[in-house]
């Protein structure tokens, strides 16, 4: 028995990662995927607020009064915009990692810029940097259009709601007590359509615009990294 214990004690020791190792791994992951972490945090927070609205019954009331399905259309457009934002965030993160590691993804804007600026003089590199800025801005232009479309759909819903509210008012029957009830009901229904669509369009526009601003910051960081790497390569 003592022999077995001696053999066990003489065996190789297993070293488990300590707190410093885990902190180092966390820093590396945070450095590599910081843009995606911010994107996820922003949208998790937005989803949590939406869940609170569902729990309070606010969204249920909004969809119940959406006879023209304008709120549903606004939500659908927002989901499409959010999917586009997620794809752009993933692409930007991959390109940032490629620039840091010195191996940009083939066919990406980063690989194109580094190949195009090789051997150019200062004026040529400046022209290519301006072109790169335009290409990165154009990549996010679709997201800006979708965010603007949400506001426009909300305004259209406002106009439709007011038309519906005023269409139920008949000046010839204003003095009839029996006609007051249906007119007020139609007026309130139209006003609810106007207010709910405006609210949905405005809130979802803010949500998507925050995502757009986050991606613009990531694109600006990518632009700075590429220009710096291009200049360092010339000096070397």
pLDDT at 17: 55
What confidence tens digit (pLDDT) does each residue in 38-83 have? Answer: 999 999 999 999 999 999 988 888 888 888 889 999 999 999 999 9
Q: CA of 100: how far to CAs of 67, 109, 119, 180, 221, in Å?
A: 52, 14, 21, 70, 12
Q: Is the dihedral of CA 146, 147, 152, 157 positive or negative?
A: positive
pLDDT band for position 229 (50/70/90)? confident
CA distance 128 to 116: 8
| Domain range annotation of the chain | 18-235
What confidence tens digit (pLDDT) does each residue in 168-225 have? Answer: 776 666 666 666 777 777 777 888 888 899 999 999 999 999 999 999 999 999 998 8
Report pTM.
Answer: 0.81
Mean pLDDT across the chain: 82
pLDDT reading at 142 higher than 70: yes
CA distance 204 to 227: 35
pLDDT reading at 88 higher than 80: yes
Q: Which of 175, 168, 214, 213 lies closest to 192, judged by CA?
A: 168
Task: Compute how many other C-beta atoms are within 10 angstroms of the C-beta atom of residue 98.
Answer: 19
Computed over its alpha carbons, how large is the radius of gyration of the chain?
Answer: 28
């Amino acid at each position: 028995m003592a022999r077995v214990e001696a053999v066990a004690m003489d065996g190789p020791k297993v070293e488990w990662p300590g707190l410093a190792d885990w902190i180092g791994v966390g820093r590396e992951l945070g450095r590599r995927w910081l843009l995606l972490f911010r994107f996820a945090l922003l949208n998790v927070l937005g989803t949590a607020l939406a869940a609170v609205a569902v729990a309070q019954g606010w969204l249920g009331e909004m969809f119940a009064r959406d006879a023209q399905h304008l709120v549903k259309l606004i939500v659908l457009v927002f989901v499409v915009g959010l999917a586009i934002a997620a794809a752009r965030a993933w692409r930007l993160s991959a390109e940032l990692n490629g620039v840091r590691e010195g191996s940009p993804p083939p066919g990406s804007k980063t690989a194109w810029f580094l190949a195009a600026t090789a051997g150019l003089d200062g004026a040529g590199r400046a022209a290519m940097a301006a072109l790169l800025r335009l290409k990165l801005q154009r990549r996010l232009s679709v997201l800006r259009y979708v965010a603007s479309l949400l506001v426009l759909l909300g305004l259209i819903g406002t106009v439709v709601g007011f038309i519906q509210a005023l269409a139920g008012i008949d000046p010839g029957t204003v003095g009839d007590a029996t006609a007051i009830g249906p007119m007020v009901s139609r007026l309130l229904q139209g006003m609810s359509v106007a207010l709910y669509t405006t609210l949905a369009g405005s809130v979802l526009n803010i949500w998507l615009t925050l995502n757009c601003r986050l991606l613009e910051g990531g694109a600006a960081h990518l632009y700075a990294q590429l220009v710096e790497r291009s200049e360092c390569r010339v000096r070397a």
